[in-house]
Amino acid sequence: MQGTMGTIIPLILMFVLFYFLLIRPQQKRQKAVQQMQRDLKKGDKVVTIGGLHGFVDSIDDSKAVIKCGDGSRLTFDRSAIREVTEGSGESVNLSK
């Protein structure tokens, strides 16, 4: 009986350690990204997972149209947006 407890306790401690060091922080990051993607609105300056920088021109439930620096518009899945670098600015001037 005591030999079994000696092998089970370290396994339980390892699981608890993995949960608090790996699993839980990843879940928090995933929730934050999902919240950011839900809160997207027209005019937000964003960066996609491919590294494209631009402004949200229009958005619907699953897709976002990103306006790039040269005035072109590209359509991306909402999940392809990695981060919002600036909040909404309705009067965005892209000419440099």
Residue 70 — very low, low, confident or very high, per pLDDT cuts 50/70/90?
confident
Higher-scoring residue by pLDDT: 56, 4: 56
Q: What is the pLDDT of residue 38?
A: 92
For residue 6, pLDDT over 70 is answered with yes
Residue 5 — very low, low, confident or very high, per pLDDT cuts 50/70/90?
confident
pLDDT average, residue stretch 54-75 = 93
Q: What is the pLDDT of residues 31-41, one digit of tens each?
A: 999 999 999 99
Single pTM value for the model = 0.68
- Measured CA to CA, the distance from residue 62 to residue 59 in angstroms comes to 8
In this structure, the dihedral spanned by the alpha carbons of residues 67, 73, 75 and 80, taken in order and rounded to 10 degrees, is -30
- Measured CA to CA, the distance from residue 76 to residue 90 in angstroms comes to 20
Lowest mean pLDDT: which of 1-10, 14-23, 73-82?
1-10
- Using CA atoms, how far residue 50 sits from 14, 54, 74, 82, in Å, is 36, 12, 13, 9
Q: What is the pLDDT of residue 1?
A: 61
Which residues are 53's β-sheet partners? 47
CB-based contact 48:80 (threshold 8 Å): yes
